Amino acid sequence: MPNWLLSLDRFFPIRYLTWFACAAVMLLGAFTQVVAHAGGVWAVLGLVGVVTGVRDVRQRRHSILRNYPVIGHLRFLLEFIRPEMRQYFIEGDNEAAPFSRQQRSLVYQRAKGDPDKRPLGTQLDVQAEGYEWINHSLQPTRVASHDFRVRIGANCAQPYDASIFNISAMSFGALSGAAIRALNGGALRGNFAHDTGEGSISVHHRAQGGDLIWEVASGYFGCRNADGTFNAELFAKHATEPQVKMIEIKLSQGAKPGHGGVLPGPKVTREIADARGVEIGVDCISPASHSAFSTPVEMLEFIARLRELSGGKPTGFKFCVGHPWEWFAVAKAMLETGLLPDFIVVDGGEGGTGAAPLEFTDHVGAPLQEGLLLVHNTLVGLNLRDKIRIGCAGKVVSAFDIARMMALGANWCNSARGFMFALGCIQAQSCHNDHCPTGVATQDPLRQKALVVPSKIERVHNFHRNTLEALKELVQAAGLQHPNQITANHVVRRVAGDKVKLLANHLQFIAPGSLLAAARGECDWPHNVYKVYWPISRADSFAPAAAEVHPDGLKVPLPTVGEAQAPLDLVI
Ligand SMILES: Cc1cc2nc3c(=O)[nH]c(=O)nc-3n(C[C@H](O)[C@H](O)[C@H](O)COP(=O)(O)O)c2cc1C
């Protein structure tokens, strides 16, 4: 700032200029109104500015307004429109926040049935580290249909032949009634599954009749007693409804594992209260953990009980991998009791949510690749992989995303935000404040009207169909018949500079039965994560055995054997 301006500022703070300008406009307007009967509007506008300035300097909430009366409001206005400005004018096509424009455009085009082809070639840097591709065949196949299926719960009384691409859990409460209707209608049209989310089954889920996966979480919504504990009778009543095809116990969710959640009282409308079995207008709490079981064995017994109460429907659980010894404890309980879930859904730490603390979305929970590999490998190492199906979720929106996850061991993929984009979500990130501009994630009746259910049903259906069509083309190009034939040998990754590796060589895949053999002492442990944590995990507790032998509070021992030679990484 020039010196003369600094001197002026000392006697007359120039940050008050707008405020004083308002006073000048007011006086001038009043004067011309009196003299020439014109300018009254300016007088009123000036007065509004002056009063705003007085209010700004007197309020105690915003320091910026106390120092910069009137003009300071610009900062709040710009902050308010920043996401839109950034999204439309500044953000790069491949910048993920959390989804890139490329990813969203692909969903929008497939959902609308618009051409989804790209001209002139890839925009990706094929020399960049992390770039991946699928190896194609010189003899592409022809696959009759894109309707790829996987049988879940083959030994159940009512197995389910699921699509390999389904709608991931999102509750009525997080999403609007209109959004739920459109998702379920799309699921019906495309013959795929719609996960209820933990908010249970509402009138909106029932309106269209699409296949449901009923998610039962720690709040036991839809099957709870007044004190929030599990109610078997209510569970059986709804689980046996023909529309419900599978039961999923939610242990955790990638965006906020170990956190639980609250739907604030003002959002608990009559419809939500009816669906969940809670009181209208009262905070609806999902505790961080379940009350129906407290050990891995009890959890498997609970799964078996729910399967029985549902009349033999496939029953499994969803979780985001955290402490490896807790997952191993569940796996040990499977071995000891012979009680197996029909499926496990692995959610990645990169997953979405209606609302969660930043520390949780950013820094809690294993990302999908690591979680999926650990679960898949463990089941392979225990010879249990063919008895349990694995689903997964975490930023899966394109056919390549699905193919990649299947290569890593998934049997099917779920998408939450992909289907939100199909409904018209523009990633405004207002799910938590009820101001969703597209009516997808709001309970505001007026805002919901923006979402026209019949046309969005069409879009949900189109997105599913066109994505699987694209997957079919990938499968054909690779010379295969079904996406379940895609393995880590088909996908290549640039790991650094001019070094590329098959995912099969880049990531660790363990041999069938190798964990059982290592536990019997017949061979080396397939990986440090097993060597260190498998011996201390136990079927009768989620806590590691070592917790008891470490009174100093160190719950888990660090690796001590072969530290020098073996990699110290404890995540596969
Ligand atoms: C608005 C919203 C609500 C969600 N609600 C639930 C829920 O009730 N239960 C659950 O298990 N996961 C919930 N999730 C997580 C998703 O089901 C999914 O696991 C996660 O977002 C990863 O998938 P995505 O990357 O395709 O979004 C929610 C996600 C979003 C975006």
Please identify which residue in the block is written with the tokens 């017994």: 301
Cα–ligand 1 centroid distance for 351 (angstroms): 6
Cα–ligand 1 centroid distance for 352 (angstroms): 5
For 494-559, the DSSP string reads EEETTEEEEHHHHS--PPTTHHHHHHTTSS--SSHHHHHHTTT-BTTBSS-THHHH-TTS--SPPP
Cα–ligand 1 centroid distance for 184 (angstroms): 16
pLDDT class of 557 with cuts at 50, 70, 90: low
Using an 8 Å Cβ cutoff, are 462 and 115 in contact? no
The pLDDT assigned to 428 comes to 86
3-state secondary structure of 142: coil
Nearest-CA residue for atom 10 of ligand 1: 169
How many domains in the chain?
2
**Is residue 571 one of the residues assigned to a domain?**
no
Last residue of some domain: 19, 47, 73?
Answer: 73
What CATH number is attached to the domain comprising 181? 3.20.20.70
Mean pLDDT of the chain: 93
Residue 12, domain extent: 3-73
- Same-domain status, 161 and 68: no
- Same-domain status, 68 and 154: no
**Is residue 238 one of the residues assigned to a domain?**
yes
**Closest ligand 1 atom to the C-alpha of 345?**
19
**Is residue 383 one of the residues assigned to a domain?**
yes
Angle at 163 between CA 161 and CA 167, to 5 degrees: 125
- Same-domain status, 185 and 297: yes
Nearest-CA residue for atom 22 of ligand 1: 351
Nearest-CA residue for atom 8 of ligand 1: 197
Q: Quote the percentage of the chain above a pLDDT of 70.
A: 95
3-state secondary structure of 233: helix
Question: Pocket residues for ligand 1 (CB within 6 Å)?
Answer: 168-171, 174, 197-198, 215, 250, 253-254, 318, 347, 351-354, 393-396, 415-418, 431, 441
Neighbours of 469 (CB within 10 A): 15
Nearest-CA residue for atom 5 of ligand 1: 170
Q: Does the N-terminal peptide bond of residue 257 adopt cis geometry, omega within 30 degrees of 0?
A: no
8-state DSSP, 59: -
362 alpha-carbon distance from chain centroid: 12
Dihedral (CA of 491, 495, 500, 502) sign: negative
Cα–ligand 1 centroid distance for 457 (angstroms): 19
Last residue of some domain: 49, 73, 97?
Answer: 73
**Is residue 537 one of the residues assigned to a domain?**
no
Mean of pLDDT values over 512-518 = 98
Angle between helices 232-239 and 296-309 (to 10 degrees): 50
pLDDT class of 491 with cuts at 50, 70, 90: very high
**Closest ligand 1 atom to the C-alpha of 415?**
26
**Is residue 134 one of the residues assigned to a domain?**
no
Out of 201, 218, 353, give the residue to mutate to test ligand 1, the one with the largest number of ligand atoms within 8 Å of its CB. Answer: 353
- Examine the pLDDT at 466 and tell me if it is beyond 50: yes
Could you report the per-residue pLDDT of 134-163, keeping only the tens digit for each? 999 999 999 999 999 999 999 999 999 999
- Examine the pLDDT at 398 and tell me if it is beyond 70: yes
